[in-house]
Every structure is written in structure tokens, then in C-alpha cells.
Amino acid sequence: MARREMIWLALVVWANSMLVLPFSQGALAAPPVAAKEVEDSPPEPEKSPQEEDAEVYELMRLFADTLDQVDRNYVKDISRRELMEAAIEGMLTKLDQYSAYIPPEQIDRFKSGVESEFGGIGIRVSVEGGILKVISPILGSPAYKAGVLAGDTIVEIEGESTRGITIDEAIAKLKGKVDTSVKVSVLHEGEEKPIPVELTRKTVRVATVLGDTRNDDDSWNYMFDEDQKIGYVRINTFGRHTTEELKETLDLLNAAGIKALVLDLRFNPGGLLSCAIEVSDLFVEEGKIVSTAGRNAPARRWDAHTRGTYADFPMVILVNRYSASASEIVSACLQDHERAVVIGERTWGKGSVQNIITLEDGRSALKLTTASYQRPSGKNIHRFEGATDEDAWGVIPNEGFLIKLSTEELREYNEFRRQRDIVGRKPEEGEAFEDRQLLAALSYLRGRLSGENEKEDDQKADGKTKKAPEKQAAAGN
């Protein structure tokens, strides 16, 4: 069989498999037409299923002909795999920015991000000036147990120099199947001779629920204010194990007598919809959490349950311009139910849901936007193209709590946070960053615990007082 006919046959088989679902559900039905349009130009009659089939086959023939011509006659030799992946990526550019093709060489890293675990030695690394440096070992990992420290240089991997190595090459060599070993040569800071270390790869789980500072055993300390029992919990992504980690943390805080909580979702890009629903359900006793609606999926609604709810303390949720998706589901839900006060900046504005569709028996995947979601109040979350600041999108902090950080402040905060997150490193004396958003959260919660803010809320309800946003934000400094 000629190459062109083989391409054509493969596309016909694919087209047949794709036609069943849309036509059976009427997804291609024409939209309603306004009365004026009917008077001026009657709508074209709907195509029959047979006509639709014929049109799809013609489009597949066009694609097959183009692929065959490029494959045979283009001036340079390009693999069919590259051509097909370029065609897929080109197709997805017509969709929204969140739909994407995940090729085989990226699928493992993508899965690790979703699962928050991987097979490896458990270190975060960077390449600085061609030198492979350890940012931090992961608590409890093989590297942590072997004494690998933040600031160490990995000189060799399996006897090969790492000089000039790229970050992707380093990760590929250090990661691997569980219970396999890897030999590295590690140079500690301040020493002249590297030491050989043989590490056995294990399943490394990356924590997604974090605190502010670490205890002596390098575990996180979640009690920010020991005197007033104000807890602080930071979630950096909504992964497979986040709900479990958060429950364990809240139980620890409850046992320590927590009276108020700061939930920090700043810089959290999102994650799993199911996890966002579960986290919201931990703090809300009843009512709608979120609902979704899609083109080929029935509308769905998730409601909160009383059982297992942590509802006995006031809360603040911190967000910023980089809080997105699942972060917005949680903050919008708790804000709408008046379970928490939202402080910080307006969030990113991502109100869409992506499904992960496996391709090639799991060797690649398609991340496809299949639905949009709505917060309990019904307000829009998604920032559509061309949206202005006056339009409804994202999660806006509660009145009086819009506190924007400058670009310089964000840079300083990220460096401060990076240093504080290093395992085995204790904050130095005098080391501090004036986190105006966190200070405002603490000020509000301390006022709630003393009863001051409750009096102010009552006065606002009676129409007697109304604080200006800038004055209230300044109170947290």
C-alpha cells in the first residue's frame, strides 16, 4: 500500500471514531437565529449526518494530502512524528491558552506534577554557571537521609562530570525507577574534596501543604502566633495528596488549641478540581461549593457536608495575581459563604476546567478545556480576552483588604520565601521581609479574637461606619 493511502486510511479510521459522540448528542446543531436575521437572510438548512460525514472526510483528505506532500517534497528531512506533533500543536492554537498537547518526552514530568510524587533521590537542583547545585533536599528523601545539603555541588553522576549539564539532563539522570541506585559525587560548601555517595531511588512525595518556619527536626511549624494561637498554612498546589496533608495539619493545629487560621494561596497556580472541592468542604458546612458546565457534559454541582468540617475558628485567605484555578475555587467558595475574609490582590481569573485525555496508551496526553465553573454566588471567575479591570473576573479581596505588592516587593518576597523553605537552614537573626498582606491578615484575626472586628462588622451592617480601603490596609503594617 502506498504511503499516501496509508495516511489516508489511518485518518479515516480516526475520523470514524470521532464522529459517533458528537452526532449522537447533537453537538453540531445550528445556534438559534434572531428574528431580524430570519427576515433578511433565511438560515441555511441543517446538514444531514451523511453530509456532515462527507465534509469531515474531505477535510481529512486535505490533511492527508498536505502531510504527504510535506513528507515527500520538503527541502529538509523532517520525521513524520515531528510533523504530526506540529499539526496537533497548531490545531490547539485555535483553542484557549490552557489546552495543550503533552508529548512523550514531557509526560513523566507532567504526571509527577499532578501526583506530587516521583521516583528519585529527592533533591531540588539548579544549574548556575554550568555547575549543578542543590537548592534543597526534600525532607525524608534518600538524599536528605544521606546528608546531602542545600548549597552542595553535584560534581559527577555515574562517573560523568556534570560541568555544563542542562537542568533537564540532570533531572533525567537523577530520576529513575524505584529501588534502582545512582552514584553521585557531592562537594559540600567550604570543602575541597567531593565525597562519593550511592543513593537508592525511592518514591519521593513532594509536600504541598507547608508552614512558615521549620522545627528543629526540619518539619514545618504551622503555628504562626503561639500566644494567640493563630495558625498559618500554605498550599503551593492542589495535588493528589493535598487534602490528606491538610487534614493532618489541621488536626495538629486543633490539638495545639488553634483559635484562628491564615490559609495562604499566593502563587498557587491551581491543580485538581476534585482537591479544590475537598479542601473547600473542610471549611464549609453546607451549600454549594462549585458547579461546572460543558459542551458535551451535563452540568454538575458539588455541595458541602457537615461531617469533618473545621468551622470553629475565623479565617483569612491570602491571594495574589498569581493565584489561579483551584485556588480561585477555594477562595471564592469561602468568601461567598462568608467563612473567610480574602486579603491580597485580585486573582488570575481562570474559570475553566481541563480534562487529561491519554493518547498512545498513555505515552502522551491531551490537556483539553471541557467545562467552565461557577462560584456559589454565580459571579464570573474567568478573565476573557479583552476583559478590563471594571469587568467581573477573578476573586477580588473583601472590601478594605485590597493590598497590592510592587514588583520589587514580589521579588523580595520570593527570595525570602525561597531561603525560608530550604531544609536544614534556620532563619538568620534579623532576617525578615515586611509582608504587608500577611501583616494585614494577622491584624484582622487578632481583632476578631479580641472582638474588635466583630463590632466593626455590626456597625457596617447598621450603616454607621465604612472604612476606606487604604486605611484598613495600612492597619496591617
pLDDT tens figures, 319-363: 999 999 999 999 999 999 999 999 999 999 999 999 999 999 999
pLDDT above 80: residue 424 = no
Does the domain formed by 117-205 have CATH 2.30.42.10? Answer: yes
User: Cell numbers 486543633 correspond to what residue?
Assistant: 254
C-alpha cell at 438: 500577611
The chain-wide mean pLDDT, for the chain, equals: 86
For residue 345, what is the DSSP state?
S
Check residue 194 and give its pLDDT: 95
Contact 357, 368 (CB under 8 A): yes
Phi, psi of 287 (to 5 degrees): 95, 180
pLDDT for 52: 82
User: CB-based burial of residue 268 (10 Å sphere; 0-12 exposed, 13-18 middle, 19+ buried)?
Assistant: buried
Residue 101 and residue 88: Cα distance in Å, rounded? 7
Query: How far, in Å, CA of 138 to CA of 112, rounded?
Result: 15
Number of helices (H), then strands (E), belonging to the chain: the values are 14, 21
Q: What percent of the chain has pLDDT over 70?
A: 84
Beta 230-235 vs 260-264: how paired, if at all?
A: parallel
Q: Is 376 left (phi over 0), alpha (psi -120 to 50) or beta?
A: alpha
Residue 12 burial by CB count (10 A; 0-12/13-18/19+): exposed, middle or buried? middle
Q: At what angle do helices 49-73 and 3-24 cross, to 10 degrees?
A: 150
Region 445-451 average pLDDT = 94
Distance CA 248, CA 222 (A): 11
Q: Which residues contact 405 (CB under 8 A, 6 or more apart)?
A: 320, 345, 413, 436, 437
| Residues classed as catalytic | 325, 336, 350
Average pLDDT of the segment spanning 461-466: 41
The more confident residue out of 21 and 279 is: 279
Per-residue pLDDT for 3 more than 60?
no
Q: How far is residue 168's CA from residue 185's CA, in Å, rounded to a whole number?
A: 19
Q: Mean per-residue pLDDT for 149-160?
A: 94
Q: Which of 34-48, 60-74, 377-391, 421-435 has the lowest mean pLDDT?
A: 34-48
Q: What's the CA gap between 392 and 388, in Å, rounded? A: 9
Mean pLDDT of 144-162: 94
Exposure letters 51-78 (e unless 16+ CB within 10 A, then b) = eeeeebbeebeebbeebbeebeeeeeee
- Euclidean distance between CA atoms 324 and 237, whole angstroms: 10
Given pLDDT bands bounded at 50, 70 and 90, which one contains residue 54?
confident
Distance CA 344, CA 27 (A): 41
Find where cell 485525555 sits: 357
The CATH number fitting domain 209-474, selected from 3.30.420.40, 3.90.226.10, 3.40.30.10, 2.40.50.140 = 3.90.226.10
| 460-469 average pLDDT score | 40
